[in-house]
Amino acid sequence: MVSQSIAQRVGRERDALDAAVETIALAFSGDPTWAPLLVPDPDDLALSTTYWGLFVRSAAERYEMTYAIDGSAAVSVWLPQGGDELSADESAGFEHFATSLLGETGYETLLEIGERFEAAHPTEPHNYLSLLGVHPSRRGEGIGMRLLAENLAHFDALGEPTYLESSNPANDARYLALGFEPHGTIALPSGLTLATMWRDPQAA
């Protein structure tokens, strides 16, 4: 049970969105799924920041389901049941956007990863944890899981299930501890195998 609310919705204000994007880009800078593609230079996160910025801003502007604690020490980005990661216009322009960042080869790799994620995605109604990240300066404090626990308590109260892909296997046990259960796996072109997880709403 979460005793005190810590989550604040990230609004559409530029400063708030910039801070949330920075946290996500930094959090994923060492991620085994995304870093090899989006962080070719560990000292330069410009590409990664631009890429994740599209998804964070799109979700925050269209859904009120992006949350942060302590400014943006930790950030969670949720998509509602039936929600899309990008708007129709953003989806139409995504190939050009991604190719300009990654080149043709990088875009093809990204497309393959995306197709494998989509194939594993459940068809049952659910809320989808698109992104969850903790600023590197705040790692080890448990704030990411505390934020997630509060989000899950909200969905429990609504009686709604949740779903995620664990892009870093090191986090699997943390999700299991919050009531997620294994749902499937995703075999990536890199050889890495990811777990997908489902959580039915739980009684208080």
* Closest CA relative to residue 174, chosen from 196, 151, 194, 144: 144
Residue 76 lies inside a defined structural domain of this protein: yes
Residue 180 lies inside a defined structural domain of this protein: yes
Over residues 25-46, the pLDDT tens digits come to 999 999 999 999 999 998 999 9
Residue 2 lies inside a defined structural domain of this protein: no
What type of residue is 167?
S
- Mean of pLDDT over the chain: 95
* Structure tokens, 65: 């389901």
**Is residue 3 over pLDDT 70?**
no
CATH label of the domain that carries residue 192: 3.40.630.30
Residue 59 lies inside a defined structural domain of this protein: yes
**Is residue 2 over pLDDT 70?**
no
Average pLDDT over every residue of 111-138: 97
Element (H, E) at 148: helix 143-158
Per-residue confidence (pLDDT) for residue 50, from 0 to 100: 98
Report how far residue 195's alpha carbon sits from residue 204's, in angstroms, rounded to the nearest whole number: 26
Residue 112 lies inside a defined structural domain of this protein: yes
Q: Answer yes or no: pTM beyond 0.75.
A: yes
| Length of the chain measured in residues | 204
Spatial neighbors of 116 by CB under 8 A, at least 6 apart, are: 186, 187, 188
pLDDT over 90, % of the chain: 93
Give counts: helices (H), strands (E), the chain. Answer: 7, 7
**Is residue 85 over pLDDT 50?**
yes
Q: Residue 163: which domain range? A: 8-199
- The structural domain count of the chain equals 1
